[in-house]
Structure 1
Amino acid sequence: MKDALIFGQDNTERIVAVEAGDEVNGSFQIDMFVRDSAGISVVKKDFQPYVYLSDNRSTELTDIKPVQMTELDGTDKFRWRASFKSWTDLQEFRKQLAKQQPDASSSVFWINDPVVLFMLETGITLFKGMAFDDLRRVQIDIETDTEPGYDFCNPSRKGDIILAIGIGDSHGTYTALSSHKDGEKALLKQFVEIIRELDPDVIEGHNIFGFDLPYIEKRASMHRVKLDLGRNNTKMTGRNSRFSVAERTTSFKRFSIPGRHIVDTYFMAQMFDVSSRDIESFSLKSLAKHFGVTPENRVYIEGSKIAESFKTDPEKALRYLEDDIKETRALSDIFSPVY
């Protein structure tokens, strides 16, 4: 076995994702997604989430009681581990304790993520026994229209539709979806269907958090299209977050797709540049040139003319979109393996 301190003490291989599952009869479950030659299987594990306490008498102050109290070795502050039947019980315990004990924050140590708690407890880690090429990866990119009189597209404007979505994968296949024939609503529905059919472990894009996913989310909401992009037909969700690297801090909406990972090569390039500090621009085309991964006969269209190109020369516009997909995949090939 490899070093457990680095790779985790559990030997289970080919786990590509771990997610919080359902509460069944009051008990909490964790879903593990395992990729094998037949595809993806889901392994469900019962799990009792836990907090660490400085005083075991804290549990006397709440109606919610732990199912198990464990005294830890040593003399450090948080010597007690309180395990609960469900994530709901754990959260309710914290709320009640905070009301009864003004300094509760200094007497309780907890991690607000059941998946992290589960992986710490079990020693389970992702991608063990897998090569990078074993992952099923998909790249996406969108092109949009802009209403006359405006310089930039805005997903809240009715006419600023998604013109096309490019979808590539790590095997080099490519699909281009266009709203020209059947409209934007049909385009979005087809996008969801293809993602579910391809069933990727990783969805990649360049500035996917800053542009593609927020735009898709807004347009899907306008058309009442459910973005059930996750495994087990679960929906994509998002929350406000910040990305900080070196002197740069970026506010963005962090999206999550259950059972899948989202990789933004725009962010990864910035992390790469912390040590090299020689990247002049983090745009997709500039990065492709910097790393020497520009496709042969790459199609270039000025940003302000892309929408018009879909009307006057759609074949060229779709080749441009495909080259964007190729460059995104090539950049991820460079950045992602170390993670």
Structure 2
Amino acid sequence: MLFGADPTPRIVAIELGETGTVKVYRREKDGSTVAEVEPFHPFVWADSDVVDLGIEAEKLAGDLKYGWRVTVDSWKELIALRNGLKNAGRDFFAFTDPVQHYLTATGRTLFKDLPFEELKRMQIEVLSFSDDSDDHLMSIALADNSGWEDVLTVDPKDVEESERSVLKKLTSLIKERDPDVIEGHNLFRFDLPYAPDRGEDD
């Protein structure tokens, strides 16, 4: 395992697939996107053998702290394994994100050999209204690096229904434009958490 060691170019996204697989999406030079199903067997590193827990482990070469590897067939099994080791008081290391796990295990990287100008980049800005008695979306502005722009506005005369419509339209536009990267100011601390929360409130 070595970051960037795998030569596979132009990977733009990775998703969990059926048990034991992931879907790897690559952008072709003609702009089309292809999906390839690849094997994926997640694992944890433990600091000792876990045979006493009824779990098979592989002893790794070397004398580093986490010298045992336990491999499973699915991400669901990995979560159960992590919980089991934690409850048993065992010391271990495991990834919490399947994409990071897959990239680390394979040595692949996102966007390798993909020129920056070929990335599909979308920008999102969420504006909201909030006071002691109310909290709702006002508008969502979207743009991408093709020059496309749109603004979704909530009708203040019918906030609940209009807000629901705006969120559905936002979802539809993201699927339609299919960006590789979503950008925005304070995106992870406000915009992305806030919009789904408003959908749940509806």
Coarse TM-score class (shorter-chain normalised) = 0.7 to 0.9
Q: CA 1:213/1:70 → structure 2, altered by over 3 Å: closer, same or farther?
A: closer
In structure 2, the residue corresponding to 1:183 is in which secondary structure?
Answer: helix
Q: 2:194 aligns with which of 207, 211, 215?
A: 215
Matched, 1:9 2:5: yes
Ranges in structure 1 where 5+ consecutive residues have no aligned partner: 146-152, 224-339
Which whole-Å CA distance do the structure 2 matches of 1:210 and 1:74 have between them? 41
- Contact kept? 2:82, 2:94, Cα under 8 Å: no
1:136-180 CA deviation, whole Å, 9 max, x = no partner?
0111123334xxxxxxx25982xx443322111112221122233
Q: Distance in 1 between matches of 2:81 and 2:96?
A: 13
Structure with greater helix share of residues? 1
Q: Is the 8 A contact 1:155 1:218 kept in 2?
A: no
The answer as to 2:41 corresponding to 1:48 is: yes
**Bigger Cα Rg:** 1
Matched, 1:172 2:147: yes
1:126-145: CA deviation from partner (whole Å, max 9, x where unpaired) = 10111111110111123334
Q: Relative contact order, CA 8 A, sep 6+: which one is greater?
A: 2
Question: Quick one: which amino acid aligns to residue 99 of structure 2?
Answer: V
Aligned pair in 2 of structure 1 residues 155, 30: CA closer, same or farther (>3 Å)? farther
For residue 98 of structure 1, report the CA deviation from its aligned partner. Answer: 4.2
The one of 82, 88, 93 aligned to 2:76: 88
Count residues with an aligned counterpart.
197
Answering whether residue 183 of structure 2 is matched by residue 195 of structure 1, we say no
Q: Distance in 1 between matches of 2:194 and 2:63?
A: 52
When residues 86 and 59 of structure 1 are mapped into structure 2, their CA distance, relative to the original with a 3 A threshold, is farther
Given the alignment, which residue of 93, 98, 112 partners 1:128? 112
The answer (yes or no) to whether the contact 2:12–2:110 under 8 Å persists in 1 is yes
Query: 5+ unaligned residues in a row in structure 2: which ranges?
Result: none
Q: Percent identity?
A: 35
With over 3 angstroms needed to count, the CA separation of the structure-2 counterparts of 1:59 and 1:192, relative to structure 1, is same
Cα deviation, 1:167-206, whole Å, max 9, x if unaligned, reads 1111222112223398322222212111111111111111
Structure-1-length-normalised TM-score:
0.51
2:132, 2:187 → 1: CA distance?
A: 14
> Is 1:139 aligned with 2:123?
yes
The residue correspondences of 1:232-271 to structure 2 (distance < 5 A) are none
Q: TM-score, normalised by structure 2?
A: 0.81
Q: Distance in 2 between matches of 1:200 and 1:70?
A: 40
Among 95, 98, 104, the alignment partner of 1:111 is 95
User: Would the alpha carbon gap of residues 156 and 92 (structure 1) be closer, same or farther in structure 2, given more than 3 Å must change?
Assistant: farther
Q: Distance between the aligned counterparts of 1:199 and 1:155, measured in 2?
A: 37
CA contact (8 A) 1:155 1:161 kept: no
Amino acid at match of 1:50: F
Does residue 1:21 correspond to 2:17, yes or no?
yes
Asked whether the equivalents of residues 155 and 219 of structure 1 are also in contact (C-alpha less than 8 Å), the reply is: no
RMSD of the TM alignment (CA)? 2.8
CA distance 1:44–1:155, shift in 2 (3 Å)? farther
